[in-house]
Structure 1
Amino acid sequence: MKRNPFDLTGKNAVVTGSYQGLGWGMAEGLAQAGAFVILVDVNPEVSQKAGQLRAQGLLAEGLCADLLERADRTRLKAAIEERLSGKLDIMVNNAGIQIRHPVLEFPMEDWDKVIELNLTSVFDLAQWAARLMVALGKGKIINTASVNSLAAGVYTVAYCAAKGGIMQLTKTMSNELSSLGVNVNCIAPGYMATPINTALVEDEKRFAELSQRIPAKRWGQPQDMAGAAIYLASDASDYVCGIMLPVDGGYLGR
């Protein structure tokens, strides 16, 4: 029988920012597809969250790390390498933050936080993962971009700058790594009903404006990310290189 190209059995995956929201949706999806998933999050209860997957008979562990801190990222990389004996097949860079201020009032300390977590840490972990994957001759790196990689918002100059950077980072890494067996792609979620968007959901006027532009007539949910993550992590996407895959209910098509 021909093997299911979407089957991730025997693959090791890491998903950052996976205690809740989109990261949780992708981690759960990858685990359901057969992968052993290491959930990484700043929330120390991430180990208990991984336990929810194990309770379903799936393979998962949790590691706590503050990806804003470069020393903690170094510690995390060493811990994952030891746990997986260097066999990292799938790296999902999802951890991120949103800090809103008007452009004229945006503090540099908040700019630095958003860029460090949403862009610099992504390159740091993607570069590390790529080195392991090149040694193996195969691997999948999936970065979380955004519809704001293309369509800018308001009060979100740092976030939009970082997400625009994710799109270009993904394409540039793909240009260098595709011939070495490593696929680098990104997913661009639209407006999702997750904690990072609480301020938008609670802003009645802005929520209505955004909802009107979504052809699917609903905001996304974490589980909406699972299919895209499984596809880009699987053998089914072996010839897919450097793309940004929108999961946005049609938002970018308007």
Structure 2
Amino acid sequence: MAGTGSLEGRIALVTGAARGLGFAIAQHLAGEGATVWLNGRDKAALEDAAERIGGAARPLCFDVGDAAAVEAEFALLAEDGLDILVNNVGQRDRRSFEEIGRGDMARLLEVNLIAPFDLARRAAPLLRKSAQGRIINITSIASEIARGDASYTASKAALDGLTRALAAELGPDGVTVNAVAPGFVLTERNEDWFTDGDAIAAHLARRTSLGRWAEPAEIAGPVAFLASSAASFITGHTLIVDGGYVTHF
């Protein structure tokens, strides 16, 4: 993928990067010149993703919910340093809140909130050493417009709050912390979830200003922007990238 080279010499970690939005983000960052660590739990899938991206991509297989594994892998990352952390990995449980037990909610929060918190905490010493330390959290428009889905909505709203709090805490060290909140994105997972593609397309045509899904690359671009020097004075911000879904009535 050709790019501007705006991230030349930078080192990034993207979680949940074997497929879908995470893969698109990793590919875009690599296209802008960054060396990118691709995180996930499936070693074979990560190796395949890294091969498709090319020489700037490296697989890094660990579960973000496994504290011991995270600690071990960050010891490896410390050898080369880190400039950009993209907390992309997330889970969703589409059952009603009355069907979701306490344990289910705890597991979802472990991935959607606690893992980004822990990764940011471990990345902070490395990012402070960088001339352009960046944390970018992938949240959701669900935190802006609730339509049920209480467990996911609550976890993503909390991640927005974490973004602002970390921006305040890490700003004096020159590290910016922002979030990107995508709308409907046409990833492999969404194709699996939304079996009636015609109904979803009709809904988006009515409800979204641009009248369509986003392609993963259209979310990856804003992430790369926030990682670049062009966004050096932006922090504590959640950038909604939804084709006008939130504002179109």
TM-score w.r.t. the length of structure 1 is 0.89
* Higher alpha-carbon deviation: 163-172 or 132-141: 132-141
Q: Is the contact between residue 6 and residue 236 of structure 1 (CA under 8 Å) also seen in structure 2?
A: no
What residue is the counterpart of 1:162 in the other structure? 155
- Alpha-carbon distance in 2 for matches of 1:109, 1:241: 34
- Alpha-carbon distance in 2 for matches of 1:5, 1:194: 25
* Identity fraction in percent: 36
Q: Is the contact between residue 4 and residue 32 of structure 2 (CA under 8 Å) also seen in structure 1?
A: no
- Alpha-carbon distance in 2 for matches of 1:174, 1:37: 23
Is the counterpart of residue 15 in structure 1 residue 14 in structure 2?
yes
- Alpha-carbon distance in 2 for matches of 1:217, 1:38: 34
How far apart are 1:151 and its partner, in Å? 1.1
- Alpha-carbon distance in 1 for matches of 2:192, 2:147: 13
- Alpha-carbon distance in 2 for matches of 1:5, 1:60: 17
Q: Is the contact between residue 6 and residue 230 of structure 1 (CA under 8 Å) also seen in structure 2?
A: no
Distance 1:42 1:63, change over 3 A: same
Is the counterpart of residue 132 in structure 1 residue 131 in structure 2?
no
How far apart are 1:196 and its partner, in Å? 3.8
Give CA deviations for 1:143-185 in whole Å, capped at 9, x if unaligned.
001101211132x211111100111100111112112100000
What residue is the counterpart of 1:236 in the other structure? 230
Q: Is the contact between residue 97 and residue 196 of structure 1 (CA under 8 Å) also seen in structure 2?
A: no
1:70 is matched with which residue: 67, 70, 85? 67
What residue is the counterpart of 2:97 in the other structure? 103
Q: Is the contact between residue 38 and residue 62 of structure 1 (CA under 8 Å) also seen in structure 2?
A: yes
Q: Is the contact between residue 144 and residue 187 of structure 1 (CA under 8 Å) also seen in structure 2?
A: yes
How far apart are 1:204 and its partner, in Å? 6.0
Distance 1:199 1:61, change over 3 A: closer
Q: Is the contact between residue 193 and residue 201 of structure 1 (CA under 8 Å) also seen in structure 2?
A: no
Q: How many residues align?
A: 244
How far apart are 1:252 and its partner, in Å? 1.4
Kindly provide the amino acid, as one letter, of the partner of residue 157 in structure 2. G
- Alpha-carbon distance in 2 for matches of 1:200, 1:40: 23
Give the superposed CA RMSD.
Answer: 2.0
Q: Is the contact between residue 132 and residue 229 of structure 2 (CA under 8 Å) also seen in structure 1?
A: no
What residue ranges of structure 1 are gaps of 5+ in the alignment? none
